[in-house]
Amino acid sequence: MNYVYSATMKKLLQKKPAPFIHIIFVLVILLLTAGSIYGYMDEQRRKDQDIKNAGLFDPSSETKRFSKITLIALSDEFATSYDEKMYYCFGFDVEFRPYIIAIQSEDKEKYRELINYLYSNTEEFPKALTFDGMPEKLEEELIDLAIEGYNVLWASETVNKASYAEYFGTYYLDTTKDTTAQDGLMEICLLLLVMVGIAYLLILVNTNKYTQKRKITLARCSDELLKSVDQEINHPSTDHFADQQLYITENFIVSNRVGFDVIALNEIAHIYGMLYSKNGKDYKMSAVAETKDGYKHEVVLTAFREGDTRFDQIMHVFHNRLPDIQYGFEDDFFKMVERDSVLDIDSKDSASGIKSNLFLGILGAVLGAALGGVIWIVLGKIGIIAGLAGYAMMLFSIRGYRMFSGFLDKKGHVISLIIAFLMIYVANYTLYAIEYCKYYYGSYSSANLINSFMQLPDFLSMGGIWSDFLRDLGIGYALSIWAGYRIIKVVLDMKTRDE
d(CA 445, CA 183): 6
d(CA 313, CA 301): 13
The confidence score (pLDDT) of residue 338 equals 54
My answer on whether 371 and 322 are in the same domain is no
Q: In sequence order, which residues have a C-beta less than 8 Å from that of residue 160 and are 6 or more positions away?
A: 147
My answer on whether 331 and 376 are in the same domain is no
My answer on whether 458 and 363 are in the same domain is yes
Q: Is residue 206 part of a domain?
A: no
d(CA 492, CA 494): 6
- Last residue of one domain, picked from the residues 276, 305, 339: 339
Q: Is residue 200 part of a domain?
A: no
The confidence score (pLDDT) of residue 107 equals 82
Q: Is residue 4 part of a domain?
A: no
- 355 — alpha (psi -120 to 50), left (phi > 0) or beta? beta
* Residues linked to residue 90 through DSSP beta bridges, in sequence order: 100
d(CA 323, CA 360): 42
My answer on whether 329 and 415 are in the same domain is no
* Residues linked to residue 337 through DSSP beta bridges, in sequence order: 276
Nearest to 399 by CA among 366, 370, 368: 368
| DSSP 3-state of 104 | strand
Nearest to 100 by CA among 178, 170, 151, 177: 170
Q: Is residue 79 part of a domain?
A: yes
Q: Is residue 27 part of a domain?
A: no
* Residues linked to residue 83 through DSSP beta bridges, in sequence order: none
Q: Is residue 233 part of a domain?
A: yes
My answer on whether 133 and 104 are in the same domain is yes
My answer on whether 371 and 302 are in the same domain is no
My answer on whether 157 and 258 are in the same domain is no
Q: Is residue 380 part of a domain?
A: yes
d(CA 37, CA 42): 9
The range of the structural domain enclosing residue 410 comes to 358-492
How many structural domains comprise the chain? 3
Q: In sequence order, which residues have a C-beta less than 8 Å from that of residue 7 and are 6 or more positions away?
A: none
- Last residue of one domain, picked from the residues 282, 312, 339: 339
The confidence score (pLDDT) of residue 345 equals 45
| DSSP 3-state of 245 | coil
My answer on whether 398 and 451 are in the same domain is yes
- CATH of residue 300's domain is 2.30.29
Q: Is residue 90 part of a domain?
A: yes
Q: Which long-range contacts (CB under 8 A, 24 or more apart) does 2-6 make?
A: 3/223, 3/227, 5/226, 5/230, 6/230, 6/233, 6/234
The confidence score (pLDDT) of residue 85 equals 75
pLDDT averaged over consecutive 10-residue blocks of the chain (499 residues)?
Answer: 84 78 90 88 80 87 87 91 85 93 86 90 85 91 93 91 92 82 70 83 77 84 92 93 92 89 94 76 83 88 81 93 92 72 45 64 87 82 70 84 76 86 90 81 71 83 81 83 74 52
- Last residue of one domain, picked from the residues 339, 367, 393: 339
My answer on whether 332 and 365 are in the same domain is no
Nearest to 469 by CA among 424, 437, 420: 424
* Beta carbons of 321 and 248 less than 8 angstroms apart: yes
My answer on whether 334 and 365 are in the same domain is no
My answer on whether 283 and 373 are in the same domain is no
Length of the chain counted residue by residue? 499
**pTM above threshold 0.75:** no
My answer on whether 334 and 377 are in the same domain is no
